[in-house]
Amino acid sequence: MISLLRSKFNRGPKRAICIAADAVTVYHWVKGEIRESFQFDADDTGRFHFARYLQETPVLPTYLLVDVVEEEFRQDTIPHVSGSDRKSVLERKLARNFRNTPYVHYVLQGRETEGRKDDKVLFTALTNPGQIAPWIKLLEQNKIPLAGIYSLPLLSHKLLKHLEAKSPNMLLVSLGSTSGLRQTYFRDQKLQISRLAKLPRFGTTPYGPYVLAELEKLYRYLNNLRLLSREEPLDIYILAHGEMLVDLNNRIKDTGLRRYHLIDVATLSHELGVEGVLTTPFSDYLYAHLLLTETPENHYGTQEETHYFTMHQLRVGLYAASLLLLFGGTTWSGYNFIRGISLKHQSIKSQQEKAYYQSRYEEAKKDLPPTAVEPENIKKAIEIVDTLLKYKTTPFLMLSTISEALTRYPNIQIDGIEWIVDTDPNKRLNQTIELEEGEDSIEKGNYDYYQIATIKGHLDPFDGNYRKAIGIVKRFANTLKNEKNVHYVKVESLPLDISPESRLTGEAQDDQPHDAIFALTVVLGVKNES
pLDDT digits (tens, 9 = 90+) for 291-313: 999 999 999 999 999 999 988 88
Residues 284 and 328 in one domain: no
Give residue 505's pLDDT: 46
Q: State the Cα–Cα distance between residues 267 and 271, nearest whole angstrom.
A: 6
Identify whether residues 358 and 407 lie together within a single domain. Answer: no
Q: Quick one: 443 and 484 in the same domain? A: yes
Domain termination site, one of 305, 327, 350 = 305
Residue 459 in this model has a pLDDT that exceeds 70: yes
What does the pLDDT read at residue 4? 45
* pLDDT tens digits, 482-523: 988 898 999 999 987 555 554 544 444 444 456 789 999 999
Report whether 305 contacts 298 (CB < 8 A): no
Residue 106 lies in a domain: no
Residue 357 in domain = yes
The per-residue DSSP string of 330-341 comes to: HHHHHHHHHHHH
CB 433 within 8 A of CB 512: no
**232 in the same domain as 157:** yes
Domain-embedded: residue 221: yes
Place 265 in a pLDDT band, splitting at 50, 70 and 90: very high
In a domain, 336, yes or no: yes
In 358-371, which positions are buried (b, 16+ CB within 10 angstroms) versus exposed (e)?
A: eeeeeeeeeeeeee
Reported pTM: 0.62
Both 492 and 418 in a single domain?
yes
Q: What is the pLDDT of residue 10?
A: 37
CB 120 within 8 Å of CB 251? no
395 and 467, same domain (yes or no): yes
Spatial strand order of the sheet with 104-111 comes to 71-78, 119-126, 104-111
In a domain, 77, yes or no: no
Q: Reduced to 3 states, what is the DSSP secondary structure of residue 272?
A: helix
Region 92-108: mean pLDDT is 93
| pLDDT surpasses 70 at 438 | no
For the residues 457-466, what does the mean pLDDT come to?
Answer: 90
The domain of 38 spans 2-70+128-305
Q: Would you put residue 100 in left (φ > 0), alpha (ψ -120 to 50) or beta?
A: alpha
Most confident of 6-15, 314-323, 452-461, 490-499: 452-461
In a domain, 207, yes or no: yes
In terms of domains, do 436 and 483 share one? yes
How far apart, in whole angstroms, are the C-alpha atoms of residue 286 and residue 282?
9
Q: Say whether both 191 and 53 belong to one domain.
A: yes
Whether the Cβ atoms of residue 288 and residue 300 lie closer than 8 Å to each other: no
Contact by Cβ (8 Å): 190, 109: yes
Number of domains comprising the chain: 3
Residue 88 lies in a domain: no
Are residues 298 and 209 part of one domain?
yes
Single out the residue in 305, 330, 347 at which a domain terminates: 305
Half-sphere exposure of 66 (CA within 13 A, CB side): 28
Which candidate, 124, 148, 107, 129, places its Cα nearest to that of 298?
148
Most confidently predicted of 103-107, 268-272, 342-346:
103-107
**Biggest CA-to-CA distance, the chain:** 143
Q: What is the mean pLDDT of residues 43-49?
A: 95
Last residue of a domain, one of 328, 343, 368: 368
Identify the pLDDT of residue 317: 81
Contact predicate 458/380, CB 8 Å: no
Average pLDDT, the chain: 86
User: Tell me: the pLDDT tens digits for 376-429?
Assistant: 667 767 766 676 666 667 888 889 889 888 988 989 999 999 988 888 888 876
- Same-domain check for residues 386 and 249: no
Q: Whole-angstrom Cα distance, residue 461 to residue 458?
A: 9
Looking at the fold, whether 193 and 272 belong to one and the same domain comes out as: yes
Q: Do 474 and 393 share a structural domain?
A: yes
97 domain residue, yes or no: no
